[in-house]
Amino acid sequence: MDLDVFVTAHRAEWDRLDHLLHRGRRLTGAEADELVALYQRTATHLSLIQSTAPDPALTTRLTQLVARARATVTGARRATWRDAARFLTAGFPAAVYRSRRWWIPTAILSTLLAAVIGWWIGAHPEVQSAIAAPDELRGMTRPGGEYETYYSSHPAASFAAQVWTNNAQAAAMCLVLGAFLCLPVVWILFVNVLNLGVGIGLMSSAGRLDIFLGLILPHGLLELTAVFVAAGTGLRLGWTLIDPGPYSRRTAMARQGRAALGMALGLALVLFVSGLIEGFVTPSGLPTWARIAVGVAAEVAFLAYVYVLGGRAVRAGETGDVDAADRSAELPVAA
């Protein structure tokens, strides 16, 4: 193909398309039809040039022209408050509900492991001495020690923000790193469980386990649930890489990855609530039963949110993925 002849023959069409695009919404019906026809022709021209006579400058110009025309023809979709409401009332709870077979076993096994680690440390003084020197252990577990003052060591607002940031980062890492065959998720989860087990073991050995649980439970129920949900979702993402099911590996990972991204946003909100509880309720002067009641109420509310709204949304066909119009086309696969 003679590129110069081709450009001379079609330059007027490209210029006309560019002119129509600059006019935006002020097109008549006939001009709108003309824009669609010119968009289709220019896309064909671009394909011909790329396959037969690739010219960097011309290819760049036509690529930009076709992209602008496609956005005008198909219309750019903008997120609205309705999208946010749909995400909070259907998309996010449905995604959590659908992944329950991953995060519920994760929560049960992690809790049992933390209890076993706590018992092992609490029942074996030699293990405690390997963790820290006796003076350091007393400094952590005594009345007014580090375990108690930790929650009031900073102003409530800044402490809540710091806690939320740290927990949101841990949850995001579980979701993102799940694609690496689950191993990083298992490690992050183990570190969190180990820290909890050490606290249980050291405070129980000092005869102050009730104080420790009174400090952990108000925010820990919701916080740990969010971490378990993130870890379970990350494990599910990693397993999808191993066993994509009836879809191609690329399609299956895209589906799970989009759902995981939505989960990250939703869990950030959940962890924000647990951070507020940890910053303002846990170190407050409320009786222990009242602080624990706040934590239990937050946990029950979240589980009801997942099982009532999420279950209803799943039965209505919600998957937690983005709308079909916002997804790239998927190639059919063999049955």
Q: What is the average pLDDT value for the chain, to the nearest integer?
A: 84
Residue 223 CB contacts under 8 Å (≥ 6 apart), including other chains: 167, 271, 274, 275, 278
**Which two three-digit tokens encode residue 35?**
């824009």
**Which two three-digit tokens encode residue 247?**
């879809």
Residue 325: predicted pLDDT: 43
Q: Is the pLDDT of residue 334 over 80?
A: no
Residue 323: predicted pLDDT: 53
pLDDT digits (tens, 9 = 90+) for 230-289: 999 888 888 888 888 777 777 777 777 777 788 888 998 999 999 899 889 988 889 999
Q: Is the pLDDT of residue 147 over 90?
A: no
pLDDT digits (tens, 9 = 90+) for 33-59: 888 888 888 888 888 887 777 778 888
Phi, psi of 28, deg, nearest 5: -80, 175
The angle at the Cα of 266, spanning 286 to 301, to the nearest 5 degrees, equals 40
Residue 328: predicted pLDDT: 46
Length of the chain as a residue count = 335
pLDDT, greater one: 71 or 95: 95
pLDDT, greater one: 141 or 56: 141
